[in-house]
Structure 1
Amino acid sequence: MTTLTDHPVPAPDTAGSDDPAARGLRESATFDRATVAAIQRAARTGIYDIRGGGSKRRLPHLDDLLFLGASMSRYPLEGYRERCGTDVVLGAKHAIRPLHLAIPVTIAGMSFGALSGPAKEALGRGASEAGTATTTGDGGMTPEERGQSTQLVYQYLPSRYGMNPDDLRSADAIEVVLGQGAKPGGGGMLLGQKISERVAGMRTLPRGIDQRSACRHPDWTGPDDLAIKIAELREITDWTKPIFVKVGATRTYYDVQLAVKAGADVVVVDGMQGGTAATQEVFIEHVGIPTLAAVPQAVRALKEMGEHRNVQLVVSGGIRHGGDVAKCLALGADAVSVGTAALIALGDNDPALDVEYRALGSAAGYYDDWQDGRDPAGITTQDEELAARLDPVAAGHRLANYLRVMTMEAQAIARACGKSHVLHLEPEDMVALTIEAAAMTRIPLVGTDWVPGQGLA
């Protein structure tokens, strides 16, 4: 009789394996390969890293919430027979001509400079086709964007690049930008290779020289100055244009209340999952708070002032699909804004271009080194040959399709919760998957009535 010990199984020979894990090696969670590479790059060059694309770390997000569809205690709406509205009005409190949008999704501010002329035109075309608004971004208003945007929000930024009263008057709304989610408290960068002759002319800058945007308005010494600035903008535009105030999500509760007190018609809160053209990576990954944490703070601030739904709340930062839209609306927002997702819809990040992305030292899906201005999709570039690759008509139609799909997805969720308008969604329609999400949103942990800090039911 033989036993297993009579014929022992030899241990696998892993000495020559190319897989470190197969040889028993473990990567440090603190000093992983990306961290080691970053330290080595800093030691080699003596400069900090600048990139675009927004935060890459895993953060609490809208994925940590789930909807409770209707069945017995609530009845769902029949999708093909019962209407579910998606329209939203932004800026009706003070403005003579508020924005009337067909869908609760807008296009975030992205500058001509960071983006090519055809990309800005495509954003205008897509937003108009879907019945919503787009936003200029830093660096001024281009004729292509104004010509193709039925509703255009003009960003009034600390840099004042490209700002002039005529463009303020020709816009449909004005957005005073005090901060951005990816870099609250800091300004962005536009590298010299993207300062083309046209960009330099619009921004009154030398061609080919790196440009750093200011982190605060030159006439800003405190929150009281915002009220003065809003009054000036209302006078310039004869009180016809809604005035938005955009803040990067940090001390959101206080910032929202100060913006409303200063006279804002609409407050835009941008979470740290928002993208950026280029800034220090340490800002992108370590400054700001997640969108999920910011929205309840903003809503609480509005409710305590008695201004919820009177002053509209627009949320941005990591919005990807109709589920995210519905969750933001259920938390109390009036609309959302998309940036990175809109660029992907135009054609960025296309796997068909992976070989060209790899030639840049990146790859499709990573968004590294695209701030350098050599985007093969023709979107984040000022190279005329690359920009010519983008067909703004076809790209605009892709964006419109994407916006319609997002809206239909949000409608489907609203109907499933028994709501006849997407703005009727509410926190009671959701549960939280994690303790962190429950604590941030004050929504009970799934399967319980428990909200952290309120005791067990």
Structure 2
Amino acid sequence: MHTPPRESATFSKSAIAEIQRAAATGIYDIRGGGAKRKVPCFDDLLFLGASMSRYPLEGYREKCTTSVTLGTRFAKKPIELKIPITIAGMSFGSLSGPAKEALGRGATIAGTSTTTGDGGMTEEERGHSKILVYQILPSRYGMNPDHLRKADAIEIVIGQGAKPGGGGMLLGQKISPRVAQMRTLPEGIDQRSACRHPDWTGPDDLEIKIQELREITDWQKPIYIKVGASRPYYDVSLAVKSGADVIVLDGMEGGTAATQEVFIEHIGIPILSAIRPAVQALQELGMHRKVQLIVSGGIRTGADVAKALALGADAVSIGTAALIALGDNSPRLEEDYNKLGTTAGAYDDWHEGRDPAGITTQDPELFSRLDPVIAGQKLANYLSVLALETQTIARACGKSHVHNLEPEDLVALTVEASAMARVPLAGTDWIPGRNGY
């Protein structure tokens, strides 16, 4: 009797397939979406709701506030949001014009902000976004001083969670005439964004650049600095030193339009492990809540939002979840995805520009399928649910504002999550690496 064959844990089917693909092509794999490997995440934390020792709030009679103000450190006009959930930067080029419009519509209905991404500001996005954050990336694609003044805040992107230390890619099939004009690129040619800014090599130079941006905008606009999570304690400390009003910290679960698979899966750290060191840096500098912290990467539910806030964030940002809310990768389009050699929900092929839902494409026939009014309302509905879920949890913990959630309200289900989030393992008072052991 023969022993049945066993799949190797080291050389799994997917690992073997990648070796074979690399051997056949001689090039690394490029895809969109975020990390697919399982990492410690917000699911590994639980809230301790009110019981005998805590007093809950009655959901129908007692207020629980969700508003947040961003940019209070230096900006003359800080941003006022109704909910602590923002829309992350996703470029026109990566996304279609109707998709950018839909993001603006949805965010405006919900009372929050959206962000331009690489490649500049579109009329659709500015026209339908009540609050719009303008990103400045190393590529400088679409960089326009007039758009800086039209924006409500400026976000300097040092790194992204999916690829800290690396630049993004936009394949030639998505470089339409309009995208090419906005980015000053040749049509139909693959482009790769730079991985570092040409104007500075460290925080001292960046401080000078931030001063220039403040002068251009008459000190009106909050200045954000976005970093990919890898060394959050030091990166946040240096961002504060550089003069940031707001810091955006993006974990490795965060998506990307396109980059190397090896980047997505093997560089950066989970957002769960990044929040507490970032908050520690802010606290030690006396800047916690004075310089606001936005965290992103894998936010899906109101529970995720509440846990991020409890660990010390002021707000969260969503990207992939927002695209899903618009209607991308819908099971109703399964047949269309199968024709592309993929499946609804895989998210690998957003970068190829053939999205049947019309969101991550520059093909006029495809993006005409997306109704930005309907898609925007769907996003607004989703944001409303996130806010309501966050309030529900905060009330259950006896909090009258979602920012009153704190680490004391949390426990961890695993040793890893306990160590990363610095909250006790459930049923104990033990935090690995703390309490003297």
**What TM-score, normalized by structure 1, do the two folds share?**
0.94
1:331 to 306, 311, 315: 311
* 25-34 or 186-195: bigger deviation: 25-34
Hey, what does 2:168 align to over in structure 1? 188
> Residue by residue, what CA displacement relative to the aligned partner does 1:89-135 show, whole Å, maximum 9, x if unpaired?
00011001010000000000000000000000000000000000000
Aligned-partner residue type, residue 305 of structure 2: V
1:368 aligns with 2:348: yes
Contact in 2 for aligned 1:449/1:456 (Cα 8 Å)? no
Structure 1 residue runs of 4+, over 6 Å off? none
- Aligned amino acid, residue 342 of structure 2: S
Q: 2:142 aligns with which of 162, 166, 174?
A: 162
Choose the corresponding residue for 1:96, options 52, 64, 76: 76
1:363-442 matches, cutoff 5 A: 363-442=343-422
User: Cα deviation per residue 1:274-295 (whole Å; 9 max; x = unaligned)?
Assistant: 0000000000000000000001
Q: For the residues of structure 2 that align with 1:25 and 1:238, how far apart are their CA atoms?
A: 69
Kindly provide the amino acid, as one letter, of the partner of residue 170 in structure 2. L
Instruction: Work out whether 1:220 is the aligned partner of 2:200.
Output: yes
CA distance in 2, matches of 1:126, 1:399: 5
1:49 is aligned with what amino acid? D
Distance 2:163 2:109 in 1: 31
Candidates 243, 253, 256, aligned match of 2:223: 243
Counterpart of 1:28 in structure 2 is 8
CA distance in 2, matches of 1:378, 1:242: 33
TM-aligned CA deviation for residue 179 of structure 1: 0.1
C-alpha deviation, 1:456, in angstroms: 7.6
Per-residue CA deviations over 1:279-332 (Å, capped at 9, x if unaligned) read: 000000000000000011110000000000000000000000100000000000
* 2:115 pairs with one of 106, 125, 135: 135
Q: Distance in 2 between matches of 1:279 and 1:130?
A: 31
Structure 2: tracts of 5 or more residues without a match = none
1:234 to 192, 206, 214: 214
Aligned to 1:316: 296
1:369 Cα shift?
2.1
SS in structure 1 at match of 2:227: strand
| Residue matched to 1:123 | 103
C-alpha deviation, 1:441, in angstroms = 1.6
Correspondences of 1:137-156 after superposition (within 5 Å): 137-156=117-136
- C-alpha distance after superposition, 1:411-441 (max 9, x if no partner): 0000000000000000000001110111112
Distance 2:434 2:323 in 1: 42
Aligned to 1:279: 259
User: Which residue pairs with 1:300 in the alignment?
Assistant: 280
Of 151-160 and 27-36, the range deviating more from structure 2: 27-36
Identity of aligned residues (%): 75
2:251 & 2:433 partners in 1: Cα distance? 24
**Partner amino acid for 2:253?**
Q
Q: What's the counterpart of residue 350 of structure 1?
A: 330
One-letter amino acid matched to 2:259: T
Amino acid at match of 1:197: P
User: Which amino acid in 1 is paired with 2:268?
Assistant: G
Aligned-pair CA distance for 1:368: 1.9
Cα deviation, residue 454, structure 1: 2.7
Alpha-carbon offset, residue 24 of structure 1: 2.4
Amino acid at match of 1:190: L
2:320 to 330, 340, 355: 340
Name the aligned partner's letter for residue 297 of structure 1.
P
Q: Is the 8 A contact 2:203 2:241 kept in 1?
A: no
* Amino acid in structure 2 at the alignment position of 1:111: S
Counterpart of 1:7 in structure 2 is: none
Residue 38 (structure 1) aligns with:
18
Query: Could you say which residue in structure 2 is the equivalent of 1:76?
Result: 56
Letter in 2 for 1:116: S
**Deviation of the 1:370 alpha carbon:** 2.4
Q: What residue identity is the alignment partner of 2:292?
A: Q
Equivalent of 1:111, from 91, 96, 103?
Answer: 91
* Distance in 1 (alpha carbons) for counterparts of 2:113 and 2:348: 29
Q: Which amino acid in structure 2 is aligned with residue 173 of structure 1? A: A
Q: Are 1:246 and 1:269, in contact at CA under 8 Å, matched by a contact in 2? A: yes
* Structure 1 unmatched runs, 5+: 1-10, 16-22
Determine whether 1:179 maps to 2:189. Answer: no
Which letter maps to 2:327?
G
RMSD between aligned residues? 1.1
**Conservation of the 8 A alpha-carbon contact between 2:314 and 2:403:** yes
Q: 2:405, 2:147 → 1: CA distance?
A: 37
CA distance, structure 2, for counterparts of residue 300 and residue 269 of structure 1 = 14
State the SS of the aligned residue for 2:356. coil
Secondary structure of 1:337's aligned partner: strand
Q: CA deviation at 1:455?
A: 4.6
User: What displacement does 1:230 show?
Assistant: 0.5
Q: Which one-letter code corresponds to 1:112 in the other structure?
A: F
Shift of 1:442: 1.3
Aligned partner of 2:397: which letter? Answer: C
Structure with higher Rg: it is 1
Output the CA distance in 2 between the equivalents of 1:297 and 1:116: 36
Structure 1 partner of 2:40: 60
What SS does structure 2 have at the residue aligned with 1:207? coil
Match for residue 18 of structure 1? none
* Counterpart Cα distance in 1 of 2:370 and 2:94: 15
1:223 Cα offset (Å): 1.9
Query: Alpha-carbon deviation of 1:453?
Result: 1.8
Could you state the TM-score of these two structures normalised by the residue count of structure 2?
Answer: 0.99
Aligned counterparts of 1:141 and 1:357: Cα–Cα separation in 2: 30
Partner of 2:434: 454
Question: Secondary structure, in 3 states, of the residue corresponding to 1:100?
Answer: strand
1:171-215 CA-partner distances (Å, limit 9, x unpaired): 000000000000000000000000000000000000000010000
